[in-house]
Chain A
């Protein structure tokens, strides 16, 4: 079907000749943007499900109490935590680790050892389980003086909001890229209609239906769309692979490609096919609309 003889020398039109380049560029951009959206959506899902979450229990120093009393409160907090369903582990962070964590904020000279540092218990949640974090927090407050629980909820909510915003922007960009492609196709097709007005007129007088004329344009548009689309798609996927390897080489999480899921790849690979279909449909629609207005 793609190799069929055409009644219109469409491939000679300058406006049509740049079409594969534009579609290629658009598919390239759409593939990368969509990849970002997919990664971020995995990230968002992980965060909002609390899968990566830990909660932290902090226990404040109460005036001049002995180390032993303090340790007892810490042990009590660990015991309470481990009794809560869905909690895997609870570990008291040693004082020197807490000091090390704070050092960058306090400066080297600060007499950290002399400060009344709170004790911190790191609680690890079982993945994929729902934990009654609020209940644990209430029990801690009731039973252990100076204890409190921080589930990072506020911070996590803000992060999820931010990730959602990135996704919305990415989707908007894909929509804009699609709209730009459609606009370019409409103009290229209109220019083709104008250039070949004479031939189209003859085809009509010979008894061609609008459908026949539209077929010539849409077949050509599909061919060019697939050509440009696959080139752009290969470029986009190669770029992702290069970023992935460069990132792992440098040992940075610039682009958390480990978050890619198997189903993401067919989604990304379908971009050129969807783009080519949009190109074909836009060309067809433009031709049929224009012809319907002819006498």
Chain B
């Protein structure tokens, strides 16, 4: 049973639209318990990125209630947002790396923004970059990296702060299966330490290889699936 009070993410009848456009999400209701691991699936344009935007507090719902770490996002003041966001790691679909900064500085950013100790930062960032196989590119600018390498920088930046919630938008879109597996292991490692993970992906190989629950989006609505079986999961709804 999911404890609503302890939920990491909770959506209740959420609707979302961009400006005056049509609703891209309709009546979305689900709850993510702590330390859960979900794939977010669905056809292109189904609203996966939009759902993630609501979770990382880039957009507010146009109706319904979104709660993150038990807090209703419409009740959160602007001043309280940064502290909340430091507990959320995001891998953007288009990476959004800072182009004029080195790989190291990009990955160090969340720690620096939070006022971390420079010596600790150096140690953690180097370690993580070794893990994702980028130790040789540590001083390079993102523009000199391949798509897959950029993606790994983006992932390293998202996980460096050991967030309570990790949101990844197509994090394996540009890497071969071997690296994709390695990155998934990284996410699982984080998940074992208590992070709730949501990965939006089209990668069927990954979905079948890793037996995690699925949130399936279609035409703005959501459906729970266990291992791609398509059965609604009443317990979590």
Interface residues of A (CB under 8 A from B): 5, 7, 9, 12, 198-199, 202-209, 212, 292, 295
Contacts and interface: CB of A to CB of B under 8 A. Distances in A.
B182 interface: no
A7 B98 contact: yes
Nearest to A202: B96
B100 A9 contact: yes
A206 B110 contact: yes
Contacts of A202: 96, 98
Contacts of B98: 7, 199, 202
A208 B112 CA distance: 9
B105 interface: yes
Q: Is the interface of A mostly helix, strand, loop or mixed?
A: helix
A140 B210 CA distance: 116
A82 to B, nearest CB: 78
Given A199-B98, A202-B96, A208 B82 contact: yes
A207 B78 contact: no
B88 to A, nearest CB: 8
A207 B60 contact: no
Nearest to A211: B82
Contacts of B86: 206-207
Interface of B: 56-60, 78, 81-83, 85-86, 90, 96, 98, 100-101, 105, 109-110, 113-114, 157, 161
Given A7-B98, A207-B161, A295-B59, 12 more contacts: A9-B100, A12-B100, A202-B98, A203-B109, A203-B113, A205-B85, A206-B113, A206-B157, A207-B85, A207-B110, A207-B113, A292-B78
B133 to A, nearest CB: 23
Nearest to B79: A209
Given A7-B98, A9-B100, A292-B78, A204 B109 contact: no
B100 A204 contact: no
A9 B98 CA distance: 10
Nearest to B85: A207
Contact of A212 (B78, B83, B85, B113): B113
A119 to B, nearest CB: 84
B96 A209 contact: no
A204 B56 CA distance: 11
Given A205-B85, A206-B113, A207-B114, A7 B96 contact: no
21 contacts: A5-B101, A5-B105, A7-B98, A7-B101, A7-B109, A9-B100, A199-B98, A203-B109, A203-B113, A204-B81, A204-B85, A205-B58, A206-B86, A206-B109, A206-B113, A207-B83, A207-B110, A207-B114, A208-B82, A208-B113, A295-B59
Contacts of A12: 100
B111 to A, nearest CB: 10
A295 B157 CA distance: 23
Contacts of B82: 204, 207-209
Given A5-B105, A206-B85, A198 B96 contact: yes
Contacts of A5: 101, 105
A280 B72 CA distance: 37
A206 B92 CA distance: 11
Contacts of A207: 82-83, 85-86, 110, 113-114, 161
A205 B105 contact: no
A201 to B, nearest CB: 8
Contacts of B57: 205
A295 B57 CA distance: 10
A292 B100 CA distance: 26
Contacts of A206: 85-86, 90, 109-110, 113, 157
A292 B113 CA distance: 18
Contacts of A208: 82, 113
A199 B98 CA distance: 7
Contacts of A7: 98, 101, 109
A205 B56 contact: yes
Nearest to B157: A206
**Chain B CB within 10 Å, residue with most, of A7, A12, A206, A208:** A206
A5 to B, nearest CB: 7
A12 B100 CA distance: 11
A295 B18 CA distance: 14
Given A9-B100, A198-B96, A295-B60, A205 B90 contact: yes
Q: 3 tightest CB-CB pairs across the interface, nearest first?
A: A207-B86, A207-B85, A9-B100
A292 B78 CA distance: 8
A202 B95 CA distance: 10
Contacts of B78: 292
A212 B85 CA distance: 14
Nearest to A9: B100
Contacts of A204: 81-82, 85
